[in-house]
Amino acid sequence: MSALTGEIPAVLGNTSYRLILGLRGVAELQRDYGNNLHGIMGDASDAGGEKEATLPDFNAFIHVVKVSLQRFHPAEADNLDVIEGLLAQDLSLPGRLIAAAFPEAREEPAAGKRKARG
């Protein structure tokens, strides 16, 4: 079975998972965290003129993984032990899922590189 665009495989114990943020999942996350989803991964905040690193929003991390389980593993989407286990193995998982949901557009060939019609 081939992977869908944006799909990320994960294994926890003896179980393999297919994680993906589809349009519904992205829409749900945008509703809660804003259109650009920037707040999910944490960033530097301005504290008295100095940049101070902040912890990521772990509730958001849980939400991202929960939403990514819904398509292929709906019975596991509310299982916090599975979600926490997946995150414990890889805290970069939410960021990778978000990045995979928005793949870069393929570059078109330069004007001089196109095939001539004959």
pLDDT digits (tens, 9 = 90+) for 10-48: 999 999 999 999 999 999 999 999 988 877 876 544 445
The pLDDT of residue 107: 45
Q: 79 in the Ramachandran plot: left (φ > 0), alpha (ψ -120 to 50) or beta? A: beta
pTM of the model: 0.77
Q: Name the amino acid, one letter, at 80.
A: L
CB neighbour list of residue 4: distance below 8 Å, 6 or more residues apart: 20
Give the mean pLDDT of 41-62: 70
C-alpha distance across the termini of the chain, in Å: 39
pLDDT tens digits along 92-115: 999 999 999 987 644 455 555 555
